[in-house]
Structure formats: C-alpha cells, structure tokens
Amino acid sequence: MPPFVAAGDAPTWAERGRDAAGIALIALLLGIPMIGLTTVDQGGALRVLTRWPLLAAFVAAVFCGRLLLRHALDLLKRRRRGRPGAAAEDEESGRRGVRMIGWAGWLAFGAALVLPLVFSDNRYVVDTATTVLIYVMLGWGLNVVVGLAGLLDLGHAAFYAVGAYAYALLSTQFGWGFWAALPVAGLVAAVFGLALGWPCLRLRGDYLAIVTLGFGEIVRVALVNWTDFSGGPNGISSIPRPSFFGLPFAPSGDAPTFAASFGLEFSPMHRIIFLYYVILALSLLTNALVSRLRRLPAGRAWEAMREDEIACRALGMNVTNVKLSAFALGAMLGGLAGVFFAARQGFISPESFTFNESAIILSIVVLGGMGSQLGVVLASLVLVLIPEIGRDFSEYRMLLFGAAMILIMVWRPGGILSRREPTLRHAAAEGGHA
C-alpha cells in the first residue's frame, strides 16, 4: 500500500508529515509536465517556458492542503466515534431537514416572485436571475430522466437545441409567434426524445450515457454542417422577441404597444421583466407537473425502475413505456427551455449547444442531488453565480465544475440534497421503521 494512508488511530504529526510529503511528491511528478513546463508560440515556432516558482507554490499548497485535510478528517472521525447515539441523531436531523427543505422551497418561491419588483431598474440582476431560471428549468427537465428514471443522459443539450431551432425556424421562416410556437417546439423536442429513447431501450447505465452523448453530438454536427437548414456555424439571427400576448414591447408607434396600452412610460426594462416572469412561469409549471407526476403511477414507475429494473419487469410493468415517457417528457421540457432561450437571445448558433452545455446541465442535476427539485435550484444558483461574482474567475469555471463533480461524487454519491427516498411511502411503514 502507498505510505500515505492513515495508520493507527491518532497519527502523529511526523506520520502526517510523511503522508503529506508522499502526496506532494506525486503532485510534483504530475506538475512538472503541465505546470513546470509549457510551450509558447513565438513567430510560428514553439519555445519552451519554465515556471518553476509556480510549480513550487503548487507543490507547497498541495502539501499544506493535505496536512490540513488529514487533520480535519481525523478530528471528525474521533468526534463521530465519541458519540454512540449518532445514528439516531442523524435520523432525527434528517427528518428536520426534510421539513426545512419544504420551507426553503416556499421561501425561494417568494423571493423569485418579488425579485424583479425590488430590482426593477437593475437590468443586470434580472438578466442573471433569468439565466439562473433557464438552468433551473433545464435541470428540472433532465431531473425527470436522470434523477427519477435513473437513465443517464449526456445529450440533453440536443433537446435544448431542437427547441431553440424549432422556434427560430418557425418564427423567422413562417412568422409564428412565441406562444404558438412554444407547444409545437415542445412536441418536436418530445418526438426527438422518443427517437432517441427507442434505440436506447435495451441499454443500461454507462452504455446509455455514451449513446446519448453520441446523439447530442450528431445533432450538433448536423446543425453545423447542414447550412441550408440551420444556417450552419453562423446560426440564426434576428429571431423575434416574445410580445405581451400580442402587444409588442416597443416605443409607441402606429400599432398599440405594451407601454401605451397600460399607460406606462416606455422602458426597455419591461421586456426584461416580462421575460423573467415568462421563464418563472414556465419553470413553475414544470415543477408542478413533475411534482404531480411523482405522485401518479407514471412517476412512481420511474422511481421504481430507477431502483430495480428487473423487479419492475417481474411485476409486469411495461418498462418500454416507462422509459419512453421519461425521455419524451425530459426532452419536451428541455425543448421548452430552448424556445425561451432562442426568444430571449434573439440569436442562436450550434456553439450554444455543445457537450459542455450538456455537462453543465447534468452537473446541476448531480450536484443538487439526483431527484431533488430544490437541489436543482441550489445548484443552478451556485453554478451561474460563481462565475458572475468573480469575472476574472470565469476561465476557471469549467475547471471548478470538473473538480466539484468529482468531489461531490466522492463525498456524497447521491448529490447534496438527495435522500434517495421514494416519494410515496406506505402509511404503515411511516410509523414503524421509517
């Protein structure tokens, strides 16, 4: 075994130092080719650049970090061992946690409702909140497939793209409005979901993940190369913005506008706030739909299939329909988010629907806790706000994403807020051994 595994009950500082030194040595080995050495392009030819001080700092940071982590872990372990009733306490705090999650959900709902009224002249805040809500909606859509049905989908951005392109084409080519195109685009995305779901019926786990990834890439490659249809890499621009049920957001002109009809002074903020409420309504609808479905046979079938597919089949459930319905619903919700995205941006290109986008949506679901609705909100907030708070930080965003995905999986393989309990419980079991 490697020398840096904690030995005995209370390792001495010398032991901890040796352990950290081992880790630092490995960090040095890994750091030499990536941090210590780099190549820069100079006049068409590469030149090697050395960064030894940076490497030294990295190794020192790893050494200290390991020492602290070891110390913290040992403390935690000792405290756990000191309390015999820890398990019962955990149970109790867990039940309190569930109640608190309910409260937090209503609190978040209230905050989301009043946010644009409080910040009615701050475009930046409302815009950022809209972005958060788009990811919330995408996360809730993917949550049906990944969190409830347990089917790992790495190509969710494909459905997002289908919805966005469906609206963009319907509106620019055929002059459809936002509200008319919304259900149609959702249906188109659902059909795509069925088309993907059907060949995947026999696959499980990681195979399924790879096929969905391949599907996502196929959609993206088609969008990039099929120039006549999708505009190729240039995308589609000047997509019409949604109107207030027929009243456009524009300075007063011949046709009645939103501002004129309500006797308000024209302000570009009207549209921003309206867009915010549209996506809020869409995501609340999504949430209501999914929460209801979880209590209906369809949703219970998803959760049952996640837990044990073979048992479901043995009980006579039609696994085909269960899987296909999850795929279709998830795809439709992704498509609706795509419609909103296209309408809000006014411009879309395949660049917005890469594998990275799928990975971000998946990490929102995973980080929040698979199957947890509020976890998705929490994760979207964190993932959108972190790069917004530190703009210089944004190049590290994906790096932190990756690291966070690994760390959270190692720390809590179910996600932050997931308790992985069935939504419905038998009444007798509730009182007994919960």
**Contact footprint for another protein (CB under 8 A):** 1, 26, 29-30, 32-35, 37-41, 44-48, 150, 152, 154, 199, 202-203, 205-207, 209-211, 213-215, 217-218, 221-222, 224-225, 310, 355-356, 359, 362-363, 366, 370, 395-396, 398-399, 401-406, 409-410, 413
Helix H or strand E encompassing 68? helix 52-82
Query: Quick one: 223 exposed, middle or buried, by C-beta within 10 A (0-12, 13-18, 19+)?
Result: buried
Least distance between another protein and beta carbon 211 (Å): 5
Please, which residue, 10 or 310, has the CB nearer to another protein? Answer: 310
Please, which residue, 201 or 434, has the CB nearer to another protein? Answer: 201
Please, which residue, 183 or 233, has the CB nearer to another protein? Answer: 233
Sign, CA torsion 98/143/377/279: negative
Strand partners, 46: 41
Please, which residue, 261 or 356, has the CB nearer to another protein? Answer: 356
- CB-CB contact of 115 with 126 (8 Å): yes
Please, which residue, 110 or 402, has the CB nearer to another protein? Answer: 402
Report the interhelical angle of 297-307 vs 319-345 (nearest 10°).
Answer: 110
Cα–Cα distances (Å) from 48 to 27, 41, 111, in that order, read 21, 9, 53
Least distance between another protein and beta carbon 397 (Å): 8
Please, which residue, 49 or 107, has the CB nearer to another protein? Answer: 49
Strand partners, 284: none
d(CA 184, CA 332): 10
Least distance between another protein and beta carbon 315 (Å): 13
Cα–chain-centroid distance for residue 263?
Answer: 40
Please, which residue, 50 or 93, has the CB nearer to another protein? Answer: 50
- Residue identified by tokens 């590469």 is 46
User: H helices within 175-204, ranges in order?
Assistant: 178-197
Q: Please name which of 173, 163, 201 lies closest in space to residue 335, comparing C-alpha atoms.
A: 163
Structure tokens at 150: 């347990």
Least distance between another protein and beta carbon 209 (Å): 6
Least distance between another protein and beta carbon 338 (Å): 21
Please, which residue, 40 or 117, has the CB nearer to another protein? Answer: 40
- CB-CB contact of 147 with 370 (8 Å): yes
Least distance between another protein and beta carbon 411 (Å): 9
Least distance between another protein and beta carbon 369 (Å): 12
- CB-CB contact of 271 with 250 (8 Å): no
Structure tokens at 302: 């998803």
Least distance between another protein and beta carbon 387 (Å): 13
Least distance between another protein and beta carbon 47 (Å): 7
- CB-CB contact of 166 with 184 (8 Å): yes
Please, which residue, 47 or 78, has the CB nearer to another protein? Answer: 47
- CB-CB contact of 330 with 159 (8 Å): yes
- CB-CB contact of 296 with 424 (8 Å): no
